[in-house]
Amino acid sequence: MKVGILISGRGSNFEALLTATREPGYPAEIVVVISNKADAAGLAIAKAAGIETHVISHKDYETREAFDAAMDEKLVAAGAELICNAGFMRILSDGFVAKWRDRQLNIHPSLLPAFKGLHVHQRTIDAGVRITGATVHFVRAEMDEGPIVAQAAVPVLPGDTVEALADRVLAAEHVLYPLALRLVASGAARVSGEKVIIQGEVAATDGPLFVPLPL
């Protein structure tokens, strides 16, 4: 499956996906990386790997729809069949989300539906939560909504700082996202209604895959 990546920054999740796609038998390849910021570090990673890159600044477009249309044009031209948001910090238009429905993944640093939006780790610590994690889900028009493909559990340790917790969750994301993409690209994970059904040896249940990580 040909994958387009959307980034805004360092691209660490993109790099984790790139590493996975180089493994023999992995069912996806990255064909294009698009960033809305010219200084996104992930662009250098893509260029070094010989992947097509584009900078499409949202500041150059009067509307969100026009910006999304420019991205869509590059994704289609590259032959992308699936999008992976990897630290992409823009809210997408309803039309773009609808066009790529069930063909766009996002990763969020919490166990959704808990702690949607920004400042996740501070809110997690403030709430006294003992277990947090990461979630890969299909994108819907509402922020951090959509059928869940896979989740990883991460402990919140006594005395955790935001930085320490963020690092621990990010390490889990780098394991989880390649796993989720493999499930989707191979056809093992599919959307039925507003839930993901996982088939094959990896599925202990018909629900989303949950990955406890010893971090």
Active site residues: 108
State residue 171 phi and psi, 5-degree precision.
Answer: -60, -40
Contact between 105 and 138 (Cβ < 8 Å): yes
List CB contacts of 139: < 8 A, sequence separation 6 or more.
83, 85, 92, 97, 100, 104, 105, 106, 146
Peptide bond into 109 cis (omega under 30): no
d(CA 12, CA 167): 12
Angle at 165 between CA 111 and CA 207, to 5 degrees: 20
CA 95 to chain centre: 19
